[in-house]
Structure formats: C-alpha cells, structure tokens
C-alpha cells in the first residue's frame, strides 16, 4: 500500500510517536511524505540512510508538497492518508491543505486527521487487505455535463 503521511510542525512529535508505535506495520508499505516529515519518518524507521523505495519525500507542504500529495491521490497512487494537521495555528498554505483534504474525500481515500483515527485505520481488518477495493464515485455526469 502507498500511505501518504503529512504533519504540520506542531503535530510532528505526535506523528513520530505514532510511527514508532506502528513501525513494524509501516515498514511493510511504501510511505509518501511531505518534506521534513519524510526525513523524520525515514530517520526513525531506517536510520540516517533514506530508502527512497520505502519513503518517498515530496517537497515541504508550503513549497508544493501538499499539492504533490494531492496529485498522487488524484492519480490513484495513495491508498491511505495520515494528515495530522494543526487546528490551532493558521498555515500560510491553508488553501493547499483544504485542497488536499478535498481530494482525499473526492477519491474516497481513508484519511486520518488525528492520532485516534490513524489508530483506527491502521488497526482495521480492512487495512492491508489485498481484496479491499474502495468504492469510487462515478463523476462522468459531472464531467460530461453541458455547460451553458
């Protein structure tokens, strides 16, 4: 599975504790992380040698990493999104954050915005079940609508 991982600065410590707690499971999957989060996750899981085949680092969120993650969601290259965002701080890239969350909903990607939900997702019997295929909404009527 391709697991997208994003964490705002004030949530990175929480995310790293979650990664540490779930490292055995996470090491079995390909992780796609934004900037600094990716470095921290890779260091925690694999030491200072970053294994690009296991942890793909995108740009930092404010530098386009959220949009890169959204692109991967829209091209069906992310199966689960763990996005620990900071509800107490304004983000300079708030529109990108909203767009990323919108795409996760649009493409029906299981998304955790807090640690409790991340725990539910990773402990679900559906997690890592090769037979699970999330329902994809058909947007053909919207795409083929007549524009007046």
For residue 59, give the 3-state DSSP assignment: coil
d(CA 109, CA 2): 11
Query: Active-site residue 96, yes or no?
Result: no
How many other C-beta atoms lie within 10 A of the C-beta of residue 84? Answer: 22
Q: Residue 74: name the closest of 122, 8, 136, 133 by CA.
A: 136
Distances (CA, A) of 80 to 1, 45, 87: 8, 19, 21
Torsion, Cα 40 66 102 55, to 10 degrees, reads: -40
d(CA 141, CA 2): 29
**Catalytic annotation, pick one of 14, 66, 79, 138:** 66
Instruction: Name the residues annotated as catalytic.
Output: 66
């Amino acid at each position: 599975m391709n697991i997208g991982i994003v964490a705002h600065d004030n949530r990175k410590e929480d995310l790293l504790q979650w990664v540490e707690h779930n490292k055995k499971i996470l090491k079995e999957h390909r992780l796609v992380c934004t900037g600094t989060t990716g470095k921290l996750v890779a260091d925690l899981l694999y030491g200072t040698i970053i294994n690009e085949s296991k942890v793909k680092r995108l740009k930092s969120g404010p530098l386009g990493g959220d949009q890169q993650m959204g692109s991967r969601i829209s091209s069906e290259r992310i199966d689960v999104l763990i996005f620990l965002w900071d509800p107490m701080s304004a983000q300079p890239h708030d529109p990108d954050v909203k767009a990323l969350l919108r795409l996760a909903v649009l493409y029906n990607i299981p998304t955790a915005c807090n640690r409790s939900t991340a725990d539910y997702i990773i402990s679900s019997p559906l997690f890592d079940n090769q037979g699970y295929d999330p329902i994809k909404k058909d947007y053909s009527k919207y795409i083929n609508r007549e524009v007046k």
